[in-house]
Structure formats: C-alpha cells, structure tokens
Amino acid sequence: MPHDNRLPRDAQSILELAARSMFDLFANASEGMLLVDRQARVVWINEQYRRFLPALGYESEADFVGRPVSEVVHNTQMHRVLETGQPILIDLLTNKAGTFVVSRIPLRGADGEVMGALGIVLFDHPETTMQPLINKFARLQQDLDDARRELAQQRRSKYTLASFIGRSPEAQEVKRQARRAAQSSSPVLLLGETGTGKELLAHAIHAASDRASRPFVSVNIAAVPDTLLEAEFFGVAPGAYTGADRKGRDGKFKLADGGTLFLDEVGDMPMAVQVKLLRALQEGEIEPLGSNQVVTFNVRVVAATSRDLAQCVREGRFREDLYYRLHVLPIRVPPLRERRTDIPLLIEALCEDIAARNGMLPMDVSADAVALLQAQHWRGNTRELRNVLEQAALRSEDHHIDAVTVEAVLRRAGVGQIVAPVARSSSEAGEHVPAQTGLLDRPLAEQVRDLERRAMRAALQHTGGNRAAAARLLGMSRATFYEKLASLDEVSKT
Ligand SMILES: Nc1ncnc2c1ncn2[C@@H]1O[C@H](COP(=O)(O)OP(=O)(O)O)[C@@H](O)[C@H]1O
Ligand SMILES: [Mg+2]
C-alpha cells in the first residue's frame, strides 16, 4: 500500500487497516498464497498453500521455499509480473498439481520499485467451482460461432445470378453463359469494361456452382504491389522471413481450397508471376515461398479483366500459354450502352439498394430523368450509373429525382458530353440512335462496330439463329458475316 501523506492520520490508519483486512481475507478465503522476492525466489507460502506441495513433488516446506519459483511451480508467470510490474488479475494455471484460477500482484516498495510479487490461488478444481462460468462462456462461444457462420454464409451468397439485373437479350445471354459456367469446373474468363458487373458475376457463378458452400476468395491483382503478389497467391512457409511473417502465412490458393479463386484484373499481372501462376494451374500444386514442399490444391479459377487480353498477348505483355489456360470459358460482359433497355430496370434496382443501405425511402425517378440517364454513354457502366444515382439522391430533398437534378450531377461528375435523350418512335426504347451530340463523343469506328453488332444480332434474332439467312437479310456474303461475327466477339453466343 503506497504511503499517501496528503491523507490525515486517521485516514492513513484506515487505509492500513483496509490493506490488512484485504490481505487476511485473501489469505483465508483463497486456496493458498505464495510470495516471491525480486529475484523470483519463493520466500513464503501460507498454511493453505502447503497442501499443494506433495502434488508439486515436494515433501516439506524447507525443500520448496528459497528455490526459484519457475523451478518449483511449472508454468508459473510470476517472473512476468516482476519484469513488467503489471498484475495478472485472473489467469488459469495448469501444471502437474492440477488446474487453478490464480491472481498475481506485484509488490512495490515506498519508492514504487517492484520488490516482489504475491501469487494467490483463488480456486482449485475450477472445473467444479467455475462450472457456471464455464457454461456461460461455452454458450457465448457457441453464439459467436453461429454469428461467424452466418457472416460467412452472407459472404458466400453476396450475389447470385438474380442480382445481375437485366432482361435485354444481351443480359439474358450473359446469365445463360454464367449459369452454364457454374456447372463446370474449368476456368472462366470474364471480359468487359470496368463497372459492367464482372465481379458480381464471379460471385454469382460461385454461388450457383457446387462449390457454393466453400470459400470464395478474391485477389485484385491491380491493387497488390508486384513484389507481394507471389506471397499473396502461394503463401509463405514458417521461418521463411524473420519478423512479422515468422509464423508463415497461407496464400489465397490455400484459403480458397475447395472453393473459387477470383483473379480480378488478371491482365495487370507482372510477367514473373504469370509464369508461376501458369505452372500452378498446369500442375495443380503450389510451393509456398521459402518452402521446398509442394502443396496440392483444388481451386476453381474465375478471372476477369477490363483490358483487351488478346491485344496484351500480341504486345507481349501477357503470356499466350496463360491466356489459353484462362480462356476456356470466356464470357463477354457487354457495356451498358449496348443494353440500354436494361437501364430503367437498373435504375429501379440501384435506387432500392442505395435506399436500403442508407436507411432511407427509395427515390422516385421521373420519366425524363430516366430518359436522360438512358441516353448517356456510361464509360464507367453500372458503377458509374450507381454513383450518379447516389449523388442525385443526396441532392434531392423530397426523394424525387428529376432531369434537372440528373443533369446537374452529370455535369459535376464530368462525364464528358451529356447526351440529350431523343423522342422514341418505336417501342424499342434501348435501340435508339444517339442524338446529334452523341455522334461526336466517341470514335466513329466504335459507333460503326456497335451498329454492325446490333444489326447482326437483330438479323439473327429475326432468322431464329440461322446465320446464312441473317447474312442474306443484311445483304452480306456468308463469309463476311461469319468473319464479322467472330471479330465482334459473338462467336461463343450461338
Ligand atoms: N447487372 C447488374 N445488376 C445490378 N448491379 C450491377 C450490375 N452490374 C454491375 N452492378 C453493380 O455495379 C457495380 C460494379 O460492378 P462490378 O461487378 O464491381 O463491376 P466490374 O468488376 O466489372 O468492374 C457494383 O456495385 C455492382 O453491384
Ligand atoms: Mg472490378
């Protein structure tokens, strides 16, 4: 008890009395007490403590007292209390004498220096005295496990194919291919501009596959520094490094075992890692860094990129052999501007989601606002549409979004040229020709390609998929039709 000379004398004596009473209480009510000096030698034990001596392997008190505590009491932590000067108020100690609930308190002299430490055995046989507490703890542990499992469940089914909003033929085709890919365990390659829903589809393919109950693990290759990618993929063996990673670390291949590994932005992978990934995929085994043992894995790979991967191969930035390894089930995810008919539906779904996440009422988007949104180019696709809606929601005070608000947000967001909506003559709302300004905001070649793709798709639809008839309908030779079809990446869709 530190001497506090600010207290009046009678208070000081009360404190001393309190200290003595507490000590006596512990001495009598506890199962035993032990005192060590600054050198961690046992200097005193009380009456009750003596009965532990036989179990600890000592016949008499004389054999025990005077010895270093760590020699006579296995697993003791008394020296830690001496080193740190911090009490360990409650702990479980297990050694050959049994399991005990113990408390360890440093003893300080008048100058605050640690002079020794007091060990108190609060309970022996904690399995009986502590049973209610242990039961409660077990129940809490059970609750925690349940919550974790639920969380993992949510993580697993974050997106399903139903989350991919769209009823256009293009959207339906993507979903059909994704559903088919889910039945297989071959690698899937999702190709499409940023924000088109590649990540969403990767989740959905996993959720629809027979691996749905196993982990879905993703690596965003563009976000991991090149030097760390290898460790990220393959893990680090224990002892490979000193310091933080001394214990070793599991790589994503290991974490995804039995499940799906999503390689996002795979086109950004450095060449050195491409070689190792290829080898891993070919051999179905990996070698953690600093280990000389190979580990087999069972992982389904889904890769995605917003780059033109074939172009990367031609430029020597992506290995051709790896490209063919990944290009087994390619799925082209069309940009939003190729499926404008989905935009009204997407607006509705995104508004609902935004409202739910922010705990507010869903916005009501006016028809002219929808028309304006539908006319835009959407370089950032659904992600960009979502951002614009989020900002519009913030600006509107009455849950109402009109064209004026949308235009202000578009201008602020710097989306480039704002495309004015055109009056529709037919019911095919999505297939409209952009207004005059729209003809100027992107390369002509791209617009021509779009038009060709639309015309060919319409012809195919009209002829029920008969390519020869579709070619005739458009006044093209069959050869030219096939060639164009292939170059427009439509080949896999029939
Ligand atoms: N068809 C869709 N239906 C509903 N939401 C979508 C759709 N496509 C994309 N999104 C949403 O747009 C955002 C971007 O999608 P994401 O899958 O990350 O795109 P990518 O990986 O192609 O860049 C996400 O918030 C996603 O939920
Ligand atoms: Mg992405």
Identify the CATH number of the domain in which residue 294 sits: 3.40.50.300
Same domain, 170 and 254: yes
What is the whole-number distance in angstroms between the Cα of residue 376 and the centre of ligand 2?
Answer: 21
pLDDT tens across 47-105, in order? 999 999 999 999 999 999 999 999 999 999 999 999 999 999 988 888 888 888 899 99
188/10 Cα distance (integer angstroms): 82
Do 173 and 293 share a domain, yes or no? yes
Q: How many CB atoms lie within 10 A of CB 193?
A: 18
The 8-class DSSP code of residue 292 comes to: -
Q: Residue 439 has which token pair?
A: 């003809």
Q: What is the mean pLDDT of residues 290-297?
A: 88
Atom number in ligand 1 closest to CA 192: 22
Kindly state whether residues 344 and 317 are assigned to the same domain: no
Q: Is residue 26 part of a domain?
A: no
Task: Check whether 491 has a pLDDT greater than 60.
Answer: no
Enumerate residues 6+ apart whose C-beta is below 8 A from 333: 174, 190, 191, 192, 193, 196, 197, 198, 201
Q: Tell me how long the chain is.
A: 494
- Rounded CA-CA distance 71/64 in Å is 9
The residue contributing the CA closest to ligand 1 atom 26 is: 197
Residue 222 has pLDDT above 80, yes or no: yes
69 domain residue, yes or no? yes
Q: What pLDDT score was predicted for residue 453?
A: 86
- Provide the pLDDT for residue 327: 95
For ligand 2, the distance from its centroid to the CA atom of residue 196, given in whole angstroms, is 8
Nearest CA residue ID for atom 9, ligand 1: 197
Q: What is the CATH number of the domain that holds 456?
A: 1.10.10
| Domain membership of residue 232 as a residue range | 160-332
Find the mean pLDDT for residues 251-268. 94
Say how far apart CA 71 and CA 81 lie, in whole Å.
16
Take atom 8 of ligand 1 and give the residue whose Cα is closest.
197
Domain boundary among 435, 454, 484: 435
pTM of the model: 0.60
Beta bridge partners of 42: 36
Report if residue 134 sits inside a domain: no
Contact by Cβ (8 Å): 347, 385: yes
Q: How many domains does the chain have?
A: 4
Flag the least confident range among 103-112, 120-129, 131-140. Answer: 131-140
**Residue 343: its pLDDT value, please?**
97
Better pLDDT: 263 or 442 = 263
Same domain? For 230 and 324 the reply is yes
Q: Are residues 430 and 476 in the same domain?
A: no
- Residue 354 and residue 390 in one domain: yes
Q: Which atom of ligand 1 is nearest to the CA of 382?
A: 12
How far, in Å, from the CA of 135 to the mean position of ligand 2?
46
Predicted local distance difference test score (pLDDT) of residue 484:
86
Structural contact between residues 226 and 169, judged by C-beta atoms closer than 8 angstroms: no
Q: What is the DSSP letter of 193?
A: -
Do the domain assignments include residue 144?
Answer: no
Q: Are residue 312 and residue 365 in the same domain, yes or no? A: no
Alpha helices in 99-168 (DSSP H): 126-129, 131-156
- Whether 36 and 183 map to the same domain: the answer is no
CA 97 to CA 75: how far, in whole Å? Answer: 11
Atom 27, ligand 1: residue with shortest CA distance: 200
Last residue of a domain, one of 332, 366, 392: 332
Q: How far is the CA of 198 from the centre of ligand 2 (A)?
A: 6
Per-residue pLDDT, 1: 54
CATH code for position 121: 3.30.450.20
Name the average pLDDT for the chain.
87
| Average pLDDT of the residues in 266-286 | 94
CA angle 350, 355, 360 (to 5 degrees): 165
Q: Are residues 351 and 259 in the same domain?
A: no
How far separated are the first and last CA of the chain, in Å rounded? 87
Q: Which atom of ligand 1 is nearest to the CA of 342?
A: 1
State whether 220 and 315 are in the same domain.
yes
Complete DSSP assignment for 248-274:
-EE-HHHHTTTSEEEEETGGG--HHHH
Closest Cα to atom 6, ligand 1: which residue?
Answer: 197
Backbone torsions φ then ψ of 195, nearest 5 degrees: 80, 10
In a domain, 18, yes or no: no
d(CA 288, CA 188): 25
Q: Is residue 4 part of a domain?
A: no
- Tell me, in angstroms, the distance from the centre of ligand 1 to residue 163's CA: 9
Asked if residue 448 and residue 427 are part of one domain, the reply reads no
Instruction: Report, as an integer, the average pLDDT of 221-240.
Output: 89
Lowest-pLDDT range of 33-42, 284-293, 434-443: 434-443
pLDDT at 391 over 90: yes
Residue 183 shares a structural domain with residue 259: yes
Is residue 14 included in any domain, yes or no? no
Residue 330: per-residue pLDDT: 96
Q: Name the amino acid, one letter, at 239.
A: G
Q: Dump pLDDT digits (tens) for 460-479.
A: 888 888 888 888 888 888 88
Q: In the structure, what pLDDT confidence band is assigned to residue 428 with cuts at 50, 70 and 90? A: very low
